[in-house]
């Protein structure tokens, strides 16, 4: 099979594995108090112009759940795009901690200042929840990116409405390395209250690096991590991986490679006049007749995104291991349907 | 002031107060184990053709919260109209017990078989919640009624999809006594898994009578009531009130009177060609220019339902204490704007 | 039957009922925003030398649950005596909001500075919960009272450890009116962060008056009340009752009468050399052989407190309706066993 | 430093690392649906004489939290020894899912039929939680083992009281390989409703294998895992590790080695007449004067278990990497205090 299903289908990037092998004979302090986690924190801090607090988390759903329930009071709610990961694909994890998600329908999965403002103003008194945190994903679940100005505007709105901005960066790697994006990790620290740098979908075995500039969010966060089942006993494993990811630009290299393969795919789709929903990152969405999809299913892995009856939209994900020849083959098979 | 604000603005119907006075020198067992609660249960059971379990609850939000969290497993979710009381006006009470509400946009606040089926089929695997209970209000928050056939069809759908149907009957009184509705309390027992007869909005001081035919829902429900803060120490208070409500048809009399006043209001609005959103129960919705509303505000109480900029939709609620002269006066003031 | 079972077995004190009858034709704002609630608040404020915020709550368990979950962060815990109401008799209501109760075994149901300090220091890092609130009952579930100095010392300890002190005053009435207690409502406002004046067990139909001097606790408390199912639609009912309770000392009169009857009971028990566990309030505990208890059961209501095999401890509760002749009869029946 | 702090201070056993390296170029299905997880399940099933369901979990706290909240209804509670991991060292994780832990003081950290029965009978009605699950750890947090007969008796008691028995096997490895224990994995499947085989503390990077024979527990467990943040995207990582652990008896080899080192330690302590609390597994507890502990602290890592004022009990943990020379050195330093 040729794989376009997702960006987390191998153990880890060889450089990460190699780094871990080199640490095999060491003995470490547990729960993230080790030297590798410390070193990883230092490397991430170097990329950020303001002092921040950094915690290594186990995975995406776990992080979203822990952060949101750590910050909010019981009657406070999260604002999210209707396509947000917390709304669609976390089996009610946020609600399981007691909080309502206020969902906003969008055209492309991206929140805007106008949409947030409109949602916010509907909540007026104690018979309703109080919106207190905006959740957005960078890149979005639909493959798009918030530009620096968009982030900044949303952050300023949040500030003026006394809401927190939390950025789910499970796919931050492909966002930062997309063409003409002008975004840095530092921007995300500046224009959010808390965000994370995704490891799982960017070459690590597991782990996300959670970052906040606020002591008030950092305070007792380890209590919430432990209670949430997200304080890994062998926390040094995640520390080691981020240590490797932020040595010699490996993190960016992995994201860039996934985008290059996406660019090659987009180019080929255009050349062959296959209509698709173009995005700047490593997820592309193509609508194809059912019989084509059935044929592709025998040779390729991918996810069905939406069912339109006689046709379906499928999602093609590239990653740092995708080969040009895989894409060539796929295009051929779509054309020779 | 003349009151059209809601149907819970007086202590209680005089007959209820009178009944309570007659019980003043008695001594009762606590927590609903008393003789008055027993008698009230018997009177309600007489109206239902199948054996049921009956519990007296404190109020609407409390009942919704206790019932839903009692029935559902942590990963199971509720389906509700977007206008449902649990979604809009309970400050996230359902989510506070850990459950997601799957909301369905509707034209008029009423769920349909098609809408429920469509929502249900979107939830396919363990990355999403599992829809397990349909919540609907009779009458709806928008003043409409589910007819017997509609209820039956929704109940049959729920059965076939292995979902529960829970009917919020906070305003069941005005539903059962609306013109040409053909509905009985027995129908609600037959075509739901659990429902309640609202007392608070139908002449009682407080209290709702929760009814289920399923031993599996009745089992340990008193544990959930106690845990949820909804097992009143002086539970006999609620028992006495339902005892009075179901003696000599008082419950139906109170609902019928509210509807009669609504009918009088509707008639007058029509005669005077004031355009409004007509409903079969005691809530009517009129769109009026802001300056008219400002004037009415000085003399009448009512709720603003929706803001349209230069005009607003207001809600007028009649109840068993509403006078024809109140309505005549209101119409006059709308016309002489 | 003659009743020694509890202090909430009648509808309400006649003066409360009378006051409600006088308000029968009025129309009120819902959810505690009415004039009677306002008046009741003013009367309570008059008894307190510092400015406080007052909210009317539905019942004890509901209040404990709402207050504790409103104040605490997810990883924070409550310290309580092992005999505390929240630990023993609320079906896990506090845990249902996500919080651990740290329990302390005591001799008599009373916490002390030493016991609290010892419990507190066991919690040292993020692998454990963080103690943040001390819960105590005045009077205790065992009938005892915290003296002014004891309260003050515990409050000072809480201050120094940055913990809140929350006093469950379900039986505050009998505490304030016990002989030689020297306690006032004002003391409770001074030496706690939040407390309540119990209505249900002191002559009201239902309702507790929650009091806090801290704006930080008052903030958004109505959101927590609504979410917790504890914001009564006809909130004016509770307001009216506290209005009556704090007119002409009725609240104190009711508590004092219960204590007088307890004193009469204690005196008789002593005279007749029946050994019992003496307390300063309206609960007395007597250990009797099983066969005596069986006989008493036929004529009296009371609760069995503890089973010792061939004997049991029973609890006798007096209230403002207890008659001397009831007590005389009981003593006679115990002696003539 | 020489390490006696815990059994999870290295990356993983070399054979596990080696196995993972061999899988580096593969592409896997996510969320535990891969071939390695399947193979690992098969190997575990081979050790069990009844058909079971097996799920790979992220870590101990996460597993305890997910399993308990998956099984229990909101008003149901867990019975645990007062020293149980869920009670002491999980920051209220169980309570955060809404459930009370009923704690039992014990002499040695082991529950007995008598203790459980006594605790169970205290819970009699809806004003109290309902005990529904017994949690015990094998080995206990205090280093002891439940023998086969003890397990069987407790399981039979649970059956008769309609309670579940859940065994936390974070340290199952050292239990199964302790001298004269007569225990097998199969026994644990037979004499429990659900249990797990700990990976993290027995040579794996991370992961626990959860096992149940009941379809009713297996049903929708993946929903609870996802909601709880415990369904790892790269679930195949855990599958691979258990595949390695159950190839050629590696799992048992690792446990046995830890016990051998503990035996060597116990022998030396005895020879040198150092008094300690002997246990059959890899945790030994020695009470030493503070000044000795201070000296040891400069050269060894270990945890302080209890503070007695001028002396402390410390915990010494051996694992498969512990060297005899480490132990010799330690004994020498204790003697030459």
Quick: pLDDT tens for A89-133. Answer: 999 999 999 999 999 999 999 999 999 999 999 999 999 999 999
- What is the mean predicted confidence (pLDDT) over D225-238? 98
Of A75, A225, A227, the CB nearest to C224: A75
Q: Provide the 10 A C-beta neighbour count for residue C310.
A: 8
Residues C180 and C40 in one domain: yes
Whole-number pLDDT of residue A54: 98
For residue C66 the two structure tokens come to 């709402």
Residues D19 and D101 in one domain: yes
- What is the mean predicted confidence (pLDDT) over D43-58? 98
Is any Cβ of chain D less than 8 angstroms from the Cβ of A330?
A: no
Q: Calculate the average pLDDT of chain A.
A: 97
Percent of chain A with pLDDT over 70: 100
Whole-number pLDDT of residue D181: 84
- What is the mean predicted confidence (pLDDT) over B132-152? 97
- What is the mean predicted confidence (pLDDT) over D189-209? 98
- What is the mean predicted confidence (pLDDT) over C267-286? 96
- What is the mean predicted confidence (pLDDT) over C286-295? 96
Q: Would you say residue B53 has pLDDT above 90? A: yes
End-to-end CA distance of chain B: 18
Residues A235 and A191 in one domain: yes
pLDDT-derived band at A181 (thresholds 50, 70, 90) equals: confident
Residues A144 and A119 in one domain: yes
- What is the mean predicted confidence (pLDDT) over D140-158? 97
Residue A242 sits at φ, ψ, to 5 deg, of -70, -30
Q: Would you say residue D337 has pLDDT above 80? A: no
Residues B237 and B259 in one domain: no
Give the total residue count for chain D.
Answer: 337
Whole-number pLDDT of residue B67: 98
Q: Would you say residue C160 has pLDDT above 80? A: yes
Q: Would you say residue A337 has pLDDT above 80? A: no
Whole-number pLDDT of residue C318: 98
Residues B241 and B268 in one domain: no
Q: Which residues contact A238 (CB under 8 A, 6 or more apart)?
A: A32, A37, A56, A57, A58, A199, A204, A206, A207, A232
Helices (H), A122-214: 148-160, 172-176, 185-190
Max CA-CA distance within chain D? 60
The verdict on a CB contact (< 8 Å) between B88 and A128 is yes
The verdict on a CB contact (< 8 Å) between C66 and B229 is yes
pLDDT in tens, B145-185: 999 999 999 999 999 999 999 999 999 999 999 998 889 99
Q: Find the CATH number of the domain harbouring B127.
A: 3.40.640.10
The verdict on a CB contact (< 8 Å) between A220 and C126 is yes
Of the residues A97, A128, A131, A223, the best mutation for testing chain C's interface (the one with the most C CB atoms within 10 Å of its CB) is A223
Whole-number pLDDT of residue C181: 84
Q: Would you say residue B337 has pLDDT above 90? A: no
Residue A234 sits at φ, ψ, to 5 deg, of -90, 60
For residue C65 the two structure tokens come to 């649950």
Residues C20 and C152 in one domain: yes
A52, A225, A239, B334, C297 from A215: Cα distances, Å: 9, 16, 21, 57, 61
- What is the mean predicted confidence (pLDDT) over A9-19? 97
Distance in angstroms (rounded) separating the CA atoms of residues C113 and D42: 57
pTM: 0.97
Whole-number pLDDT of residue A180: 81
Q: Would you say residue B94 has pLDDT above 80? A: yes
Q: Would you say residue A67 has pLDDT above 90? A: yes
Q: Find the CATH number of the domain harbouring D312.
A: 3.90.1150.10
Residues C234 and C266 in one domain: no
List CB contacts (< 8 A) between D129 and chain C: 91-92, 95
Residues B271 and B166 in one domain: no
Tally the domains of chain B.
Answer: 2
Name the nearest CA neighbour of B219 among D262, D74, A183. Answer: D74
pLDDT in tens, B186-229: 999 999 999 999 999 999 999 999 999 999 999 999 999 999 99
pLDDT in tens, D211-225: 999 999 999 999 999
- What is the mean predicted confidence (pLDDT) over B301-329? 96
DSSP state of B281: S
Residues D254 and D238 in one domain: no
Whole-number pLDDT of residue D336: 85
CB B66 within 8 A of CB B230: yes
pLDDT in tens, A304-328: 999 999 999 999 999 999 999 999 9
CB A141 within 8 A of CB A109: yes
Whole-number pLDDT of residue C283: 97
Name the nearest CA neighbour of A44 among A186, A152, A231. Answer: A186
ipTM over 0.85: yes
Q: Which residues contact D294 (CB under 8 A, 6 or more apart)?
A: none
Identify whether B164 is preceded by a cis peptide bond (ω within 30 of 0).
no
Percent of chain C with pLDDT over 90: 98
Instruction: Tell me the residues of chain B between 70 and 89 that have a Cβ less than 8 Å away from chain A.
Output: 74-75, 77, 88-89
Is any Cβ of chain D less than 8 angstroms from the Cβ of B132?
A: no
* Domain containing residue B265: 2-7+250-335
Separation of CA D62 from chain center: 13
- What is the mean predicted confidence (pLDDT) over C311-328? 97
Of the residues A72, A78, A79, A96, the best mutation for testing chain B's interface (the one with the most B CB atoms within 10 Å of its CB) is A96
Residues B329 and B254 in one domain: yes
Instruction: Tell me the residues of chain B between 2 and 31 that have a Cβ less than 8 Å away from chain C.
Output: 3, 6, 8-11, 14, 17, 20-21, 23-30
CB D295 within 8 A of CB D337: yes
Residues C234 and C256 in one domain: no
Whole-number pLDDT of residue A93: 98
Nearest chain D CA: its distance from A292 CA (Å): 23
pLDDT in tens, C239-265: 999 999 999 999 999 999 999 999 999
Of B6, B27, B58, the CB nearest to C3: B27
Residue D311 sits at φ, ψ, to 5 deg, of -135, 170
Nearest chain A CA: its distance from D97 CA (Å): 8
Half-sphere exposure of C259 (CA within 13 A, CB side): 24
Identify whether A139 is preceded by a cis peptide bond (ω within 30 of 0).
yes
Q: Which helix or strand (DSSP H or E) is residue D303 part of?
A: strand D303-307
Nearest chain C CA: its distance from B245 CA (Å): 17
The verdict on a CB contact (< 8 Å) between B126 and D231 is yes
Q: Three-class SS of residue D74?
A: coil
CB B313 within 8 A of CB B305: yes
Nearest chain B CA: its distance from C160 CA (Å): 32
- What is the mean predicted confidence (pLDDT) over D140-145? 97
Whole-number pLDDT of residue C336: 85
Distance in angstroms (rounded) separating the CA atoms of residues B195 and B172: 10
Name the nearest CA neighbour of B88 among B144, B147, B129, B135. Answer: B135
Whole-number pLDDT of residue B180: 82
Is any Cβ of chain D less than 8 angstroms from the Cβ of B130?
A: yes
Half-sphere exposure of A217 (CA within 13 A, CB side): 23
Nearest chain B CA: its distance from A285 CA (Å): 19
Is any Cβ of chain C less than 8 angstroms from the Cβ of B260?
A: no
Of A17, A62, A93, the CB nearest to D21: A17
């Amino acid at each position: 099979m040729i794989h376009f299903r997702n960006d987390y289908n191998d153990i880890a990037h060889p450089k990460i594995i190699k780094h871990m092998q080199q640490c095999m004979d060491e003995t470490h302090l547990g729960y993230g108090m080790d030297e590798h986690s410390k070193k990883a924190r230092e490397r991430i801090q170097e990329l950020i112009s303001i002092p921040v607090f950094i915690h290594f988390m186990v995975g995406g759903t776990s992080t979203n759940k822990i952060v949101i329930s750590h910050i909010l009071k019981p009657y406070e709610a999260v604002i999210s795009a209707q396509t947000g990961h917390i709304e669609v694909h976390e089996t009610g994890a946020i609600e399981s901690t007691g909080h309502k998600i206020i969902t906003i329908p969008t055209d492309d999965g991206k929140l805007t200042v106008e949409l947030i403002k409109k949602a916010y103003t509907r909540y007026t008194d104690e018979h309703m929840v109080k919106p207190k945190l905006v959740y957005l994903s960078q890149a979005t679940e639909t493959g798009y990116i918030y530009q620096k100005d968009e982030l900044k505007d949303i952050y300023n709105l949040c500030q003026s409405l006394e809401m927190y901005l939390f950025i789910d960066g499970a796919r931050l790697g492909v966002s930062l390395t997309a063409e003409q994006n002008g975004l840095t990790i530092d921007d995300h620290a500046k224009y959010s209250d808390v965000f994370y740098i995704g490891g799982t979908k960017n070459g690590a075995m597991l782990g996300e690096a959670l970052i906040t500039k606020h002591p008030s969010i950092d305070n007792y966060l380890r209590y919430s991590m432990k209670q949430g089942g997200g304080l890994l006993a062998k926390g040094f494993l995640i520390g080691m991986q981020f240590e490797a990811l932020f040595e010699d630009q490996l993190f960016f290299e992995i994201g860039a490679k996934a985008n290059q393969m996406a660019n090659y795919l987009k180019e080929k789709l255009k050349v062959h006049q296959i209509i698709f929903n173009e995005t700047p990152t490593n997820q592309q969405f193509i609508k194809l007749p059912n019989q084509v999809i059935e044929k592709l299913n025998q040779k390729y892995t991918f996810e069905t995104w939406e069912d339109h009856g006689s046709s379906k939209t499928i999602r093609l994900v590239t990653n740092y291991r995708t080969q040009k020849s895989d894409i060539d083959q796929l295009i051929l098979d779509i054309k020779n349907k």
